[in-house]
Structure 1
Amino acid sequence: MPEVTIDDSADDDANSVSSPSLPWLWEAGPTADAIYDITKSDLMLNRREAVKVLAITAGLPLVDPVQRWLAHPPPVPSPSGYSGRIGLDEVAQLEQAANVFRTWDDQHGGGLARKAVIGQLNEVADLLRDSHPHEVGVRLFHVMAQLSKIAATMSWDCGMQTAAQKYYVMSLQASTPGQDKPFGASVLASMARQLLYLDQPQDALELIRLALDGVRSTATPRLRAMLHTREAWSYAKMGRPESFKRATGNAEEAFSEIGSRDPDPDWIAYFDAAELAGVTGGRYLELAHHDNRFAGDALDHIRQAVALRQRSSMRSLALDQVGLAYAHLISGDLDEAVTVGSAAADTAGQVQSDRVRVQLREFYLEIETRRDPVVAPLQQHIRETLAR
């Protein structure tokens, strides 16, 4: 694993807190220009060099600039002498392409398609350097926001944490002129999830609170449920089980209301019953590491997630299976931990995801401490999977 460092230094001037590594731009034109330049550079990037040392921004340099997302969005520039190269039909095709990339990411992880997404993102940013009719411009910014978020997730799957955070920030900024606060809230949730993986739960909680504030009157029940699971995750990381249970209850209550309001957009459709069960079970598992009384709850929820999970969602299924194997291990059922762990290694071998590799490696290190002959074949299986 490459070294991950956290930059949480605060600027002396509270009104100008920022990080030199993140492009804090909120106006439509400069946002498009910045994304065009960054993606152009990224397409020429040597990934081996990019993953050696990773610096992640956290603390005030991250949280304070993000608060500008709550402000009213700046207008998309009106055309002064129309020079746009595309119309609404072409925009619809770009929207469909973003959906295809999102599906690919969910099914296979991001390793194989990352540069294809960045190339498409670069093209959309280039289009936005022209002037367009208002509807075309707004929809192009929304496509750019979606592609930036997909690029962020794929960068993470490649182990490129710095690039992932940068693309999340660009997605949040593109969603602002795209006039889509709910999508921006989903980006904040993804940024929070990255911070949670890097053991920064307080910052993650701050971002989720901003997200909830920003969409209090506009979020669908499915989006609210997802945001509350991120809130619960933050509390679990902090070792606050009662707050975790309260936030989990809020997520389950919101999820029960799905269907009572407007239909959900495609980008939140992934958050289904399997995802709710898997995320909740994973958090119970974190609590069980410190108090094995939570192991039973972890087993119940993760079993449900595995049963409900669509087999096409390979990355999520792999994470569920690793978590279930870990829960069996904590519960003292070594034989079942080996059986499920072997299935997890099989699934992990079919995806390109740094998150899955990290989880599988952590499970390997845990079973290594058992020094029981029954785990030896599983250890060999996992070593071969990680080597591939």
Structure 2
Amino acid sequence: MELVAHAEDQACQRRALVDANILALMARQLLYLGRADDALELVRLAQDGSRSSATPRIRAMLHTREAWAYAALGRHEAFWRATAMAEDAFGEADGGDQDPYWITYFDAAELAGVTGGRLLDLAYQDRSNAADGIGYVTRALQLRNPQSLRSHALDQVGLAQLHLLSGDLDEAARVGATAVETAQRCQSGRVRAQLQELYSQTSTRRDQRDIAELRARLQGVLTS
């Protein structure tokens, strides 16, 4: 009977983790659709449902989704609180954790990258967040697997946008040109969409030589 009870308990814990992953994926889609309040509710359901079974890596991922929702809602203090919890949880992860296969992608580079992405969102509301965003995205690029071209391209575009918001046009142009080179080596609709966004954002700076050259590069990729 004890073996049966143990097996049932293990099955329940696995189911709770699968449910948490589904809810986290649904929350991400809602965030892309601009429904941050609904996304936050789903993240909280995922956290409550997996509280007794989530590994540190899973808890960290869920906290980054929570931070994403707070960033979208403009709740800066709540964003930093959730981000700190994500970093603390990830710090507890080790090789002995029984992580399910679907969370193995969430490494230190991903944590830094998603945090930097959210700081980019916040920088559009308050440019003082750009400096922190630059630090996080730079760290993500340092940690990324060189073969992860899509992630590199997305990070590089985000970093160029952050430099643009911070007013460092020379660095924005340099990083943007690197992003174009990386994008040409991978096929990704999301990367293309981000490049289009960067192209639009540089329109008011087209009189600056380096930015004009970047825009020409971007246009060449986007029209190809």
Please, what TM-score do these two structures have when normalized by structure 2?
0.89
Partner of 1:252: 87
CA distance in structure 2 between the partners assigned to 1:360 and 1:352 by the alignment:
12
State how 1:117-136 maps to structure 2 within 5 Å. none
CA distance in structure 2 between the partners assigned to 1:260 and 1:274 by the alignment:
17
Letter in 2 for 1:386: L
CA distance in structure 2 between the partners assigned to 1:180 and 1:205 by the alignment:
21
Partner of 2:177: 342
Aligned to 2:164, what secondary structure does the other structure show?
helix
Letter in 2 for 1:321: Q
- Asked if the contact 1:220/1:261 (under 8 Å) is kept, the reply is no
Asked if 1:374 is matched to 2:213, the reply is no
CA distance in structure 2 between the partners assigned to 1:359 and 1:194 by the alignment:
17
Provide the identity percentage: 56
Aligned to 2:211, what secondary structure does the other structure show?
helix
The verdict on how the C-alpha distance between 1:369 and 1:189 changes in structure 2, with shifts beyond 3 A counting, is same
Q: 2:97 aligns with which of 256, 262, 267?
A: 262
- Asked if the contact 1:321/1:341 (under 8 Å) is kept, the reply is yes
CA distance in structure 2 between the partners assigned to 1:261 and 1:247 by the alignment:
25
Give the unaligned 5+ runs of structure 1. 1-175
Displacement after TM superposition at 1:261 (Å): 5.5
State how 1:1-388 maps to structure 2 within 5 Å. 180-259=15-94, 262-371=97-206, 372-388=208-224
Aligned to 1:369, what secondary structure does the other structure show?
helix
CA distance in structure 2 between the partners assigned to 1:202 and 1:354 by the alignment:
27
Structure with greater Cα Rg:
1
Displacement after TM superposition at 1:260 (Å): 7.7
CA distance in structure 2 between the partners assigned to 1:359 and 1:183 by the alignment:
30
Displacement after TM superposition at 1:377 (Å): 1.9
The verdict on how the C-alpha distance between 1:195 and 1:308 changes in structure 2, with shifts beyond 3 A counting, is same
Which deviations, in whole Å up to 9, do the C-alpha atoms of 1:123-179 show, x marking residues without a partner? Answer: xxxxxxxxxxxxxxxxxxxxxxxxxxxxxxxxxxxxxxxxxxxxxxxxxxxxx99x5
Letter in 2 for 1:300: G
The verdict on how the C-alpha distance between 1:266 and 1:260 changes in structure 2, with shifts beyond 3 A counting, is closer
CA distance in structure 1 between the partners assigned to 2:74 and 2:63 by the alignment:
17
Q: Structure 1: which 4+ aligned runs deviate by more than 3 Å?
A: none
Letter in 1 for 2:90: F
Partner of 2:5: none
Moved more, 234-243 or 348-357: 348-357
Displacement after TM superposition at 1:263 (Å): 2.9
Displacement after TM superposition at 1:198 (Å): 1.9
CA distance in structure 2 between the partners assigned to 1:269 and 1:340 by the alignment:
29
- Asked if the contact 1:341/1:378 (under 8 Å) is kept, the reply is yes
Letter in 2 for 1:376: A
The number of equivalent residue pairs is 213
Which deviations, in whole Å up to 9, do the C-alpha atoms of 1:288-311 show, x marking residues without a partner? Answer: 111111111001101000111112
Give the unaligned 5+ runs of structure 2. 1-10
CA distance in structure 2 between the partners assigned to 1:211 and 1:345 by the alignment:
37
Aligned to 2:125, what secondary structure does the other structure show?
coil
Structure possessing the higher relative contact order (Cα contacts under 8 Å, 6 or more residues apart): 1
Displacement after TM superposition at 1:200 (Å): 1.3
Partner of 2:6: none
